[in-house]
Amino acid sequence: MKVLKVVVVAAMVMMMVAEAIWLELPNSETKCVYKDIRNSNVVLGEYIAINADEEHIQTNFIFTISVQVSSPFGNNLHHEENVIYGRFAFTTSEHGIYLVCFRMYSHVLGNKSVAISLQWKIGIDAKDWYSIARKEKIEGVELELMKLKGLAQTVHENLLYLKKREEEMRGVSERTNGAVAWFSMTSLSICIMAAAVQILYLKRYFRKKSLI
């Protein structure tokens, strides 16, 4: 039990140093965090549940959480039950919204809640630069230059992706404008034809009644 507490405290310290997403999770409720991620990206995640209720810190408030990570097409990428902390890692094969859903279970009745900390690392941020440095036997300025090269490549890929999306959106906009123009011309033609038919009908009617 003491070892578990030490591990939990260490994980809390590590995650507080880095920027993380925090959310409050009530008992027996599910909350999800989503992120729009492109394909072929490495994703690392780390999460931990903390009893943030000062009123119950010293009591036997025992809880666990379940964690599920899903891809945009609903594929299960990570699933854990009855844990309070953990990690997940995967490489994206689909572009879209990736979901991380948490659910808390506790035997304590009432409106209890815990705080969940979730840290995402995506793409270049997910690389283990220290392992790369040891493997390539580089350090100092050379390592920083490698990081900058990776960052520049990521920026370049993002610009290409944005350019592609802009072309796709422009194509959709042009097709929509074309469809609206065709619909407008068709509607105008139908209105003119209907008006002409009405005029001819009224002229024939008035002539038949000898009104003109």
Please, what are the domains in the chain? 2-126 (2.60.120.680)
What are the φ and ψ backbone dihedral angles of 95, each rounded to 5 degrees?
-95, 135
Q: How far is it, in rounded angstroms, from Cα 204 to Cα 190?
A: 21
Q: Is 50 exceeded by the pLDDT of residue 10?
A: no
Residue of 65, 61, 52 lying closest to 103 (CA atoms):
65
pLDDT tens string 76-113:
999 999 899 999 988 888 888 999 999 988 766 566 78
> Could you give the CA distance from residue 102 to residue 31 in angstroms, rounded to a whole number?
5
pLDDT at position 6 is 36
pLDDT in tens, 137-177: 767 777 777 778 777 887 888 888 888 889 989 999 999 99
**Model confidence over 166-192: pLDDT tens digits?**
998 999 999 999 999 999 999 999 999
* Average pLDDT along the chain: 79
Would you say residue 18 has pLDDT above 70?
no
Predicted local distance difference test score (pLDDT) of residue 212: 63
47: confidence class by pLDDT, cuts 50, 70, 90: very high
Distance CA 135, CA 141 (A): 16
Contact 126, 44 (CB under 8 A): yes
What is the reported pLDDT for 206? 83
Question: pTM to 2 decimals?
Answer: 0.61
Please say if the pLDDT value at position 129 is more than 50: yes
HEC readout, the chain: CHHHHHHHHHHHHHHHHCCCEEEEEEECCEEEEEEEECCCCEEEEEEEEECCCHHHCCCCCCEEEEEEEECCCCCEEEEEEEECEEEEEEECCCCEEEEEEEEEEECCCCCCEEEEEEEEEEHHHHCCHHHHHHHHCCCCHHHHHHHHHHHHHHHHHHHHHHHHHHHHHHHHHHHHHHHHHHHHHHHHHHHHHHHHHHHHHHHHHHHHCCCC
Q: What is the token pair recorded at 143? A: 């390592």
21 Cβ partners below 8 Å, 6+ apart? Answer: 33, 117, 118, 119, 120
pLDDT at 154: 78
